[in-house]
Amino acid sequence: MPSLSTTPLKHVPELDPGFFPASIWTQAFHEKCASEGGREIRIAILRPNGSGYVHRETILNSGDESSQALNFRMIERVIKFLLWSCGGTTVILEDSPALCDALSEHYREGGPRAFDVDYSNRFFGQTLVIASQPSEGFPNPTFPDEGDSEIGLKGNRIGFDLGGSDRKCAAVIDGEVVFSEEITWDPYFQSDPAYHRAGIIDSIRRAAEHLPAVDAIGGSAAGVYVDSKVRAASLFRGVPDELFADHVENIFFEVAEEWNVPIRVVNDGDVTALAGAMSLKDGCVLGLAMGTSAAAGYADDASRITSWISELAFVPVDFQENAAQDEWSGDFGCAVNYFSQQAVSRLIEPAGLDIDPSLGKPEKLVEVQKAMEAGDDRAAAIYRTIGCYLGYAIPQFARFYDIRHLLLLGRVLSGKGGDIIIEKAEEVLRDEFPALAKKISLSTPDEKLKRHGQAIAAASLPKLK
């Protein structure tokens, strides 16, 4: 990685002293641009239908090798963030042909970012292209207003949330929860989609038993869903590609056939954000669910779910050379390894906790939570470290999302450890980013909503016939 001088962190994660926050690296890069000379460029990301978003960035003017290496590092990480937050298949850089050529070599089939290229294709059915275009005539794409301005609470509804270690379901009558349940399952590496279908149907049937009738079904799960069709999802990562189109893409419509009611399924992070908008009665909510993965979503100023994909599990938050490597994408320093059960698992060894390494990640989390309840400071150190990660990641998220509220959910936030995470993150914000600390509030629902809030909010998604 190209070197960049920064001031020491005011809060060093005690179990990960090499952590190099993307927010601090970016801040230092912009300071270098201001002192040595920089220029603003626009970066447009577009989808095949022409909709999209324009991000403005500053890069160094100098053509020397060091400056060009820093520019590449900066824009490569920005593109990575845009692909997994906004989502698109064409990235256009303003008047930057040389930088464009280098990035195109990076983001290609067989290149270092082949995973991102492949999934961009899966999401939108078109191969990723990176191009340069002069300032004159530079595109100015926008997204259509696709959000729902009203939250549906009338009727007899079922909401489900499909996680990597459990599936949750809730029965809701006119906005009142009459039943909620959580059942353990193991979908990640199941090759037969019949396993997934049977589990989803089982949860819906259990909820339906508590309703006089079923008027609508709403669901959330990690992944990308377009019109409730599965485009890509970690839940189905074990299903062979040749089975995906016929047995997974329309699985939720097939599940709903038994009840013949409207169904709508969206990214679980978006439902987290919707849950936040519902409870806070305000918009500009970034939801972050720390569970099996790091699921995120966003509700805009009008408390509407947007058309951004917001798969923030894969966005970069750590720029250190030896950052944690994501086992799926192969990239380094991605949020999934800092805000999920994976983060807890990898911090057990440096914390010095004696936990059986053969246990699964959910079971390891349970053991850490037990140690936390017993007052073991080694467990507390894990949560303080994650809180430190979060405090430094929030400003990076805020570069791409207008945030007034950060709503935190998921199993990692359960119990005393969740309080430590929030307290440490707020401390980092106050000391390093005081302006953002005044603007952004961190909150979490009560213990029941932490575990079932997404399923309950999901019930509100469909519009009744």
Class of domain 156-270: alpha beta
pLDDT over 80 at 448, yes or no: no
Q: What are 146's two structure tokens?
A: 């696709």
- Band the pLDDT of 303: cuts 50, 70, 90: confident
Q: What pLDDT score was predicted for residue 463?
A: 84
**Cβ neighbours of residue 168 under 8 Å, at least 6 residues apart?**
160, 161, 180, 181, 182, 183, 203, 451, 452, 454, 455
**Burial of residue 106 (number of CB atoms within 10 Å: 0-12, 13-18, 19+):** middle
Q: What pLDDT score was predicted for residue 268?
A: 79
**Cβ neighbours of residue 14 under 8 Å, at least 6 residues apart?**
381, 384, 385, 388
Task: Tell me if 6 sits within 8 A of 373, measured CB to CB.
Answer: no
Q: Which fold has domain 276-456?
A: Nucleotidyltransferase; domain 5 (3.30.420)
Look at residues 397, 418, 384, 433 and name the one whose alpha carbon lies nearest to residue 317.
397
Segment 304-333 shows an average pLDDT of 92
pLDDT in tens, 55-100: 999 999 988 999 999 999 999 999 999 999 999 999 999 999 999 9
pLDDT over 70 at 1, yes or no: no
Q: What are 223's two structure tokens?
A: 């992944």
Q: What is the mean pLDDT of the chain?
A: 91
Query: What b/e sequence results for 342-364 when a residue is b if at least 16 CB atoms lie within 10 Å of its CB, and e otherwise?
Result: bbbbbbbebbebebeeeeebbeb
Q: What pLDDT score was predicted for residue 272?
A: 78
pLDDT in tens, 246-259: 999 999 999 888 89
- Using a pLDDT cut of 70, give the percent of the chain over it: 96
Q: What pLDDT score was predicted for residue 410?
A: 83
Distance of CA 183 to the CA centre of its chain: 23
Indicate the domain borders of the chain: 37-133, 156-270, 276-456
- Using a pLDDT cut of 90, give the percent of the chain over it: 71
Task: Tell me if 81 sits within 8 A of 334, measured CB to CB.
Answer: no
pLDDT in tens, 400-439: 999 999 998 888 998 999 999 999 999 999 999 999 999 9
pLDDT in tens, 90-146: 999 999 999 999 999 999 999 999 999 998 988 888 999 999 999 999 999 998 765
pLDDT in tens, 177-200: 899 999 999 998 899 999 999 999
Lowest mean pLDDT segment, chosen from 13-27, 270-284, 295-309, 448-462: 448-462
Treating both helix axes as pointing N-terminal to C-terminal, what angle do 416-432 and 377-398 enclose, rounded to 10 degrees?
50
Domains 156-270 and 276-456 fall in the same CATH topology: yes
* Segments in 218-282 forming alpha helices (H): 241-247, 251-256, 268-280
- Band the pLDDT of 149: cuts 50, 70, 90: very low
